[in-house]
Amino acid sequence: MSEIKLFSIGNQVYERLSSEFVLEKELQNLIENNMETLFGVQFLKSEYAITNGRMDSIGIDENNSPVIFEYKRSQNENVINQGLFYLDWLLDHKADFKLLVFDKLGMDAAERIDWSVPCVICIAHDFTKYDVHAVNQMQRNIKLVRYRKYDNDLVLFEHLNTPIAKPVTQEEDPIPDKKAYTQKSHIEKLVLATDEMKTLYSSICDYIESLGDDIASNQLKYYLAYKKIQNIVCIEIYNRQIILFLKLSPDTVNLEEGFTRDMRNTGHYGTGDLQVIIKNASDFEKAKSLIDRAYNEA
């Protein structure tokens, strides 16, 4: 893979040389202690023991989806296959993960677990172009992250792929949830929604995806989430309106009744403190500047 070069530009310009962590445990500790800041994931447990192995780190993200972290410790270690094995094991042992969440975060969090798109994040000093190609063919939510350590106070995490993951369906799920469905299947059941509303929904999605190749989408039970490191916008569709929840402070927006709303003290699906209600193409045009801000400020 290509090398990222980092330079100091003080009185004299010089290149900062990158290196690996002397001990991979040092990298693991750094991520576990700062998981929410670095990856938008709430840390649950280190060295999570399972039947035939041990997951390096495990957590749960802001969409209530399980996230497994695996760190590549040697050049020959196949961390991708290892992560895929752990992902399949987790889907076959939902009750174990639910118990872990219950112990750490309580019953409410355990009941909100979303199994639509569990994730594996593989972290290594380097991956090959063949690794990236293989992961992109799997249609699983596996992310490859390359790290670089600069001196003693700088670490860079480079996200090498944006997986287009196929949501887990009842047929694939070893322990199917009869209530499980994705936002996509929800749209198909909206018999009262007009074709114009469904077209508007597609236009909103296309617009968000066009903002940059660092955006990934997650089809969840009750909403569609677009994220960079963390969610920037969550989308819900109904028969007569589309609702966006943007990662923006309502204090920075001139709220307009019937269009924007402060959701900081109001429960809702997804994440984001600013609600935007879109009923027609005119509303969508007004919303574009807010969507742009959510993307650029994330």
Q: How confident is the model at residue 177 (pLDDT cuts 50, 70, 90)?
A: very low
Backbone angles phi, psi at 80, to 5 degrees: -70, -50
| Bigger pLDDT: 290 vs 183 | 290
Q: Residue 224: which CATH number?
A: 3.90.1150
Residues 60 and 142 in one domain: yes
| pLDDT > 70 in the chain, percent | 87
> What's this model's pTM, rounded to 2 decimal places?
0.78
Residues 83 and 226 in one domain: no
CA neighbor of 58 nearest in space, from 27, 86, 30, 25: 86
Residues 66 and 202 in one domain: no
CA atoms lying within 13 Å on the CB side of residue 265: 0
CA neighbor of 182 nearest in space, from 172, 202, 167: 167
pLDDT, mean over the chain: 86
Distance CA(242)–CA(207), nearest Å, equals: 14
Most confident option among 123-127, 196-200, 284-288: 284-288
Is the pLDDT assigned to residue 176 strictly greater than 50? no
Task: Give residue 188's pLDDT.
Answer: 62
* Structural domain that includes position 228: 183-297
- The answer to the question of residue 104 being in a domain is yes
Q: How confident is the model at residue 85 (pLDDT cuts 50, 70, 90)?
A: very high
Q: Look at the chain and report how many structural domains it folds into.
A: 2
In the predicted model, what is the mean pLDDT of residues 85-106?
A: 95
Residues 125 and 64 in one domain: yes
Residues 66 and 193 in one domain: no
In the predicted model, what is the mean pLDDT of residues 6-24?
A: 80
- The answer to the question of residue 171 being in a domain is no
Residues 83 and 205 in one domain: no
Distance CA(136)–CA(72), nearest Å, equals: 19
- The answer to the question of residue 172 being in a domain is no
Distance CA(118)–CA(141), nearest Å, equals: 7
In the predicted model, what is the mean pLDDT of residues 261-278?
A: 93
Task: Give residue 79's pLDDT.
Answer: 87
Helix (H) or strand (E) holding 136: helix 129-138
Distance CA(124)–CA(127), nearest Å, equals: 7
Task: Give residue 19's pLDDT.
Answer: 77
